[in-house]
Amino acid sequence: MDNSVSPQNSLVSVQNLSFSRGNKKIFDDISLEFERGKITAIMGPSGTGKTTLLKLIGGQLFPEQGTIIVDGNNVHRLRRSDLYNLRKRMGMLFQSGALLTDMNVFDNVAFPLREHTHLPESMIRTLVLMKLQAVGLRGARSLMPNELSGGMARRIALARAIALDPMMIMYDEPFTGQDPISKGALVHLIKSLNTILGLTSIVVSHDVQETAAIADYIYVIAEGKIVGQGTPKEIEQSESDWVQQFMTGAADGPAHFHYPAKDYVDDLLSTGKRY
Amino acid sequence: MQHTSTQDTLVGLFVAAGIVGLFFLALQVSNLSSFTEQNSYTVTARFENSGGLKVKSPVSAAGVKIGKVSAIHFDPKTYESVVQLSIDSQYNTLPDDTTASVFTAGLLGEQYVNLEAGGSEEHLKDGGKIEITQSAIILEKALGQFLFKSAEEKK
Amino acid sequence: MIEFLQQLGIKTRTSFTKLGRGTFFLLQTMSGVLSVLPRPRLLLNQMHSIGVLSFLIITISGLFVGMVLGLQGYYTLSDFGAEESLGVMVAASLVRELGPVVSALLFAGRAGSALTAEIGLMKATEQLSGMEMMAVDPIKRIISPRFLAGFLSMPLLAALFSAVGIIGGQLVGSGLLGVDEGAYWSQMQAKLDFQDDIINGVIKSIVFGFVASWIALFEGYDAIPTSEGVSRATTRTVVNSAFSILGLDFILTTLMFGDH
């Protein structure tokens, strides 16, 4: 791990984070660094709390222990108004897109601009069309969210996320449930936005190929711990059983195929005793 | 939001209709238009028996409502009913020998105070007293008299 | 037995927790109301979906309730030869009780359930969360305008309900049954007091509007963000609103009309 990210150059730094939901420990003392201008991916099986991590970074949830520093600010120590100011510089792309259903595409992308700036309507129009052009959906501006396909909704949401020209974007499962073409379009978009706008990207995903294709650095999380980290190449060659199982998609491994249960034979026999 | 102006019109119509409804209730349904408490003066009248008279019962003269009963209490010394009448101040020329009687509107109707002007030159003032009063007619008594009379006529 | 007591304890505790959350939510909503004032467009949109869209059900129900009151009142009053008092009976029942209560119940069913479903779905589809991440406070932007609109619409709807009902009673009373029209109105005017009847009725409807909007918005905001959670929350809105409206009506009636 000699080429791990240096804390000096990281935009987001998660230190010794612990978080649990009910009795289930979701994160157990983990530390991650997200370097400026890079795409960092967080991978892991479903249910490992990857989305929770993004919500923690965005200040929507509070950790039990540990600190999260975003651009020099301790997210959970900020006053509410400062947190809101910080969020204006953080874009987040939700899994469902989270478009406002009572507005059309144009108004959705214009929403953050109208809420946070006092720009004249002509300027807003120009900006919105620019953002829509960037995601290739300028022609869809007057559609309502329920008329969009899943992939289109996500791209519109991406246009909205970059409306305020943030310093970073968090992608929550951007590829889940997309057809290969939409996946390709999103992969291309994430990569190009990152280089063109100089963004820092955090991608949470369990789609191995797509993520490995664009990420500069990958963390693999399982059972509340980081089980592997490194560049996509290093991850592929990792000797960790967890990482190997995840990358190759093996049915059994450290993550068991069977939900915890008592011994199969005992279980079968014990029902026999009823008779 | 292309339908903004239609929507504005609808909201405008709704609010206007609601306010019209409130005004309708205030003016057409309640007694707001006929009598307000601010411009009134109070006189007291003592009755041997004020019957079914209540606070807010109407006070009228010659069949026109000119005020209402504002308080009723029992005087433990004289065993009389003390009734405060608040009368609209535009009717300030009632003579001080006005007679107050408790009448009933119809056979089963509500009871009200009827004022009958006397001949004095002096007018009733705020806090004044009506000296001549006639108590409520008790229904049983009235019925008894009526039956008695009609029995006599038949003879 | 011990298990039952335990369950009871847990139930009680969760309901108090919920009441606490609800109160906190209400305070946040009310503090957000001020930020709605500079943006009348937000309020106007909600007045449309809450007030205007409830207009029809309220007026039609008001008309029919008034007509039924006219019929029933006439049959009862005519036994005592007091048909002339029909106006008083119809107007007093509507203005004091049925207007505020029935329109609030209809409001909870029509607008309240829609609000809960709307907010609950926004939560389930991460729209509220998304707004928060866009540094927009969903309470101020989504909840407060709806609360204000519900709070303002309710008295107007109740007044409409009563007004239309009184006219409906008159249509049946003097149109169909031959009660003197003059007596209908004049007895009503003589008996109903502006302060005691009209104002108290309006106060009732304001209280009901406040409570029904609060319950509807909170149930939506507090809903479990799944389709099942939202549908349950919608049911709870109607049930809880109905209980609260009727319970509060009893309390308010005792306070307002208790002394005579």
Amino acid at C259: D
Q: Is the pLDDT of residue A3 over 50?
A: no
Q: Most B CBs within 10 Å: which of C43, C52, C55, C88, as the mutation test of the B interface?
A: C52
Query: Residue B36: its pLDDT value, please?
Result: 54
Q: Which residues of B touch C80 (CB under 8 A)?
A: 108
Binary contact (C135, A87; C-beta < 8 A) = yes
Q: Is the pLDDT of residue A5 over 50?
A: no
Which residue has better confidence, B29 or C55? C55
- The helix/strand/coil state of A99 is coil
pTM over 0.95? The answer is no
Please state the domain extents for chain A: 10-269
Blockwise average pLDDT, block size 10, chain B, 155 residues: 70 87 82 62 86 81 84 88 87 85 74 84 84 77 81 75
Scan for tokens 């969009």, then name that residue: A148
Say what percent of chain C tops pLDDT 70.
Answer: 99
Scan for tokens 């947190």, then name that residue: A83
Edge-to-edge strand list for the sheet holding A39-43: A90-93, A168-172, A200-205, A39-43, A217-222, A225-230
Query: Residue C256: its pLDDT value, please?
Result: 84
Q: Is the pLDDT of residue C155 over 50?
A: yes
- Lowest mean pLDDT of A58-67, A234-243, C230-239, name the range: A234-243
Please state the domain extents for chain B: 1-34, 40-143
Confidence of residue A2 (pLDDT cuts 50, 70, 90): very low
Q: Which residues of A touch C134 (CB under 8 A)?
A: 87-88, 111-112, 115, 160, 164
Q: Determine the Cα–Cα distance for residues C112 and C110; give it in Å rounded to an integer.
A: 6
Instruction: Give the mean model confidence (pLDDT) for residues A244-258.
Output: 74
Total domains, chain C: 1
Instruction: Give the mean model confidence (pLDDT) for residues A200-223.
Output: 87
Q: Determine the Cα–Cα distance for residues A138 and C161; give it in Å rounded to an integer.
A: 48
Q: Is the pLDDT of residue C103 over 90?
A: yes
Query: Residue B48: its pLDDT value, please?
Result: 84
Binary contact (C82, B108; C-beta < 8 A) = yes
Q: Whole domain around residue C54: which residue ranges?
A: 40-255
Instruction: Give the mean model confidence (pLDDT) for residues A209-216.
Output: 86
Two tokens at A90? 């953080």
Say what percent of chain A tops pLDDT 70.
Answer: 95
Q: Determine the Cα–Cα distance for residues C5 and C2; give it in Å rounded to an integer.
A: 5
Topology (CATH) of A10-269: Rossmann fold (3.40.50)
Binary contact (C130, A95; C-beta < 8 A) = no
Query: Residue B38: its pLDDT value, please?
Result: 63
Taking Cα atoms as reference points, which of C220, C191, C130, B90 lies closest to residue A99? C130
Number of other CB atoms surrounding residue A194 within 10 Å: 20
Q: Which residues of A touch C131 (CB under 8 A)?
A: 100
In a domain, C113, yes or no: yes
Binary contact (B17, C156; C-beta < 8 A) = yes
In a domain, C6, yes or no: no
Instruction: Give the mean model confidence (pLDDT) for residues C204-218.
Output: 94
* φ, ψ of residue B123 in degrees (nearest 5): -100, 155
Q: Is the pLDDT of residue A274 over 60?
A: no
Looking at mean pLDDT, say which of A192-201, B55-64, C228-237 comes out highest.
C228-237
C84 part of contact set with chain A, CB < 8 Å: no
B71 part of contact set with chain C, CB < 8 Å: no
Confidence of residue A275 (pLDDT cuts 50, 70, 90): very low
The whole-angstrom distance between B61's CA and the closest CA on chain C is 15
The whole-angstrom distance between C39's CA and the closest CA on chain B is 14
Scan for tokens 């503090």, then name that residue: C31
Which residue has better confidence, A203 or C190? A203
The H or E element that residue A83 is part of is helix A80-88
Cβ within 8 Å of B, C 159-218: 159-160, 162-164, 166, 185, 188-194, 197-198, 201-202
